[in-house]
Structure 1
Amino acid sequence: MSKLITGTTALPVAEIEVPQDRLRTVSEAKVRGLMEAIGIFGFTTPIEVRRAKGRFVLIDGAHRLEAMKRLGEGEIAVRAFDMSAQDARGREIAANLVAGMTPLQDAVFLAAWQSYYEERHPETRQGSAGAIARHGLQAKNCSFAELVAANRSVTPRHIHKATAAVRRLSADELRILDCSPRPVPLDAIEKIGKIADAEERAIVVEKLASGEARNVAAARHALAVEKGVKAPPKDPLQEDLETLTKVWSRTGATVRRRFVAAHVDELRRLIADAEASDE
């Protein structure tokens, strides 16, 4: 349970501790946007913190806190609570699930929400239908999945599949993907999660996040080429030329003469073009 500390409405910015294990990476673009908005309208939405052994730890509002730090503000408006670290994590997850995030962040937070409920209600880890019904786990998970699915114009099934995929990725892989210049789509998250080999998965993540590969298939193909497993992709025009050459080499003289007779005008133009280009 949590209790609002009514006597604490503002705190020194420098004294608020930011946990290292936060689920969401701070976006530079969002911080800059908040700095501009705060400069125009002032600081309007308090951040949330919890009291822990004489210090205050951030629950929700990392972007707002970073913006105020960069603006050189000494204090920041807060809503302070007495609550456990576990419930603080649950509150962070819930607040971000309702907000707008990338598909990867949606999946990460939904996976974290499920873990949070399993920690609070260990009996649900075994998939007990009765326990899930009693604690409302199924309804709560579905409501968040449906919310995210509606915002993304996809089905809840896609959301659940992506959530399962992020559980198979390491913290470093999730961080790298989260910092990608382009948001990683849901289908890519699912495909990455299916790569069993940890080394291959890490390289695919790097290639995708850096923009070196446009999708998971291209990243895996590039890796295979680097390892000498697959030949590099051929030029489509070169492939057509090789096909035509093979057919020509297999035909007899009679067929070749008939072909030339049928296409003599076009062949003459092509020969003239080729000779002209050599001059």
Structure 2
Amino acid sequence: MGKLIAGTTTLPVAEIEVPQDRLRTVAEAKVKGLMEVIGIFGFTTPIEVRRAKGRFVLIDGAHRLEAMKRLGQNEIAVRAFDMSAQDARGREIAANLVAGMTPLQDAVFLAAWQSYYEERHPETRQGSAGAIARHGLQGNNCSFAELVASNRSVTPRQIRKATAAVRRLSSDELRILDGSPRPVPLDAIEKIGKIADADERATVVLRLASGQAKNVAAARRALGVERGVKAPPKDTLQEDLEALNKAWSRAGAIVRRRFVAANLDELRRLIADAEASDE
């Protein structure tokens, strides 16, 4: 699983390579917060790196590394390991799962953990109950799902359903959703994952992440209207007005007078309000 490299406790910031395929994007707010904390208390928690063909690659601590870069620090405290890229990914996943993130990031990392475990134990990909029990996949995934569920005040089943949905999304879709100003809720992740049409799913992701749609249903409904598949949403106020106008036009003079007499005070108030708004 990797061996700690003795004697390597600091490294030049510029020499640490950050992989392009990291599962979690760097959040601006967290970097700024860390810069303030480091400025007050100093750098207290080393980042983790692995040695790979003469260079050092980041495992865990992207926010800390970015904060130190912006603070103009030349060196950073590290814990350096000799380990494979596969095990480094597993270490990155586990550290972030325990720390807790947005609902989307939780689901992304749980999905990545499942993939990582299946790579280490290929026989579990078949879903065999015996294989899963022998190699601990069920217990491991359940423990992480339960941890995340307790942090989110949701059920482990909701977490697992969102995780399954994440595995059906592309890396671009996940990146766009992760960049949303508002965290994407678990139920939205699950609903997006059920959209089979790739073009529709991509459009829903963009509209939800940009705030053009308040939820998945609204985004799909608007897209359906644009494509001519669904009728535009009904304006209930306009429908009521048309119904009232139609009833008035059909009524005779006697019925109209009786209606005015029965609603005279309300009509006077409405007329006064209308005249006041025109001033």
TM-score (norm 2): 0.92
What SS does the aligned partner of 1:33 have? Answer: helix
2:154 corresponds to which letter in structure 1? V
Which residue is 2:263 aligned to?
263
Mean Cα displacement is larger for which, 50-59 or 268-277?
A: 268-277
Cα 1:266–1:45 shift into 2, 3 Å: closer
Which residue is 2:217 aligned to?
217
User: Could you tell me how far apart the structure 1 residues matched to 2:273 and 2:129 are?
Assistant: 76
Cα deviation 1:221-243 (Å, max 9, x = unaligned): 22223333344434442222123
2:263 corresponds to which letter in structure 1? H
1:97 corresponds to which letter in structure 2? L
Cα 1:273–1:177 shift into 2, 3 Å: closer
Which residue is 1:139 aligned to?
139
Query: 1:274 deviation in Å?
Result: 5.7
Query: 1:18 deviation in Å?
Result: 0.8
Cα 1:56–1:259 shift into 2, 3 Å: same
Q: How many residues are paired up?
A: 279
What SS does the aligned partner of 1:50 have? Answer: strand
What SS does the aligned partner of 1:168 have? Answer: coil
Cα 1:266–1:15 shift into 2, 3 Å: closer
Which residue is 1:202 aligned to?
202
User: Could you tell me how far apart the structure 2 residues matched to 1:124 and 1:81 are?
Assistant: 28
Pair 1:129-2:123 in alignment: no
User: Could you tell me how far apart the structure 2 residues matched to 1:116 and 1:268 are?
Assistant: 73
Query: 1:2 deviation in Å?
Result: 1.0
User: Could you tell me how far apart the structure 1 residues matched to 2:275 and 2:3 are?
Assistant: 87
Residues 110-189 of structure 1: pairs in structure 2 closer than 5 A? 110-189=110-189
Mean Cα displacement is larger for which, 147-156 or 128-137?
A: 128-137
Which residue is 1:103 aligned to?
103
User: Could you tell me how far apart the structure 1 residues matched to 2:80 and 2:278 are?
Assistant: 80
Cα 1:33–1:238 shift into 2, 3 Å: same
Cα 1:77–1:268 shift into 2, 3 Å: closer
User: Could you tell me how far apart the structure 2 residues matched to 1:111 and 1:220 are?
Assistant: 25
What SS does the aligned partner of 2:229 have? Answer: coil
Query: 1:262 deviation in Å?
Result: 3.4
User: Could you tell me how far apart the structure 2 residues matched to 1:205 and 1:71 are?
Assistant: 35
2:147 corresponds to which letter in structure 1? L
Cα 1:277–1:120 shift into 2, 3 Å: closer
User: Could you tell me how far apart the structure 2 residues matched to 1:121 and 1:227 are?
Assistant: 45
Which residue is 1:52 aligned to?
52
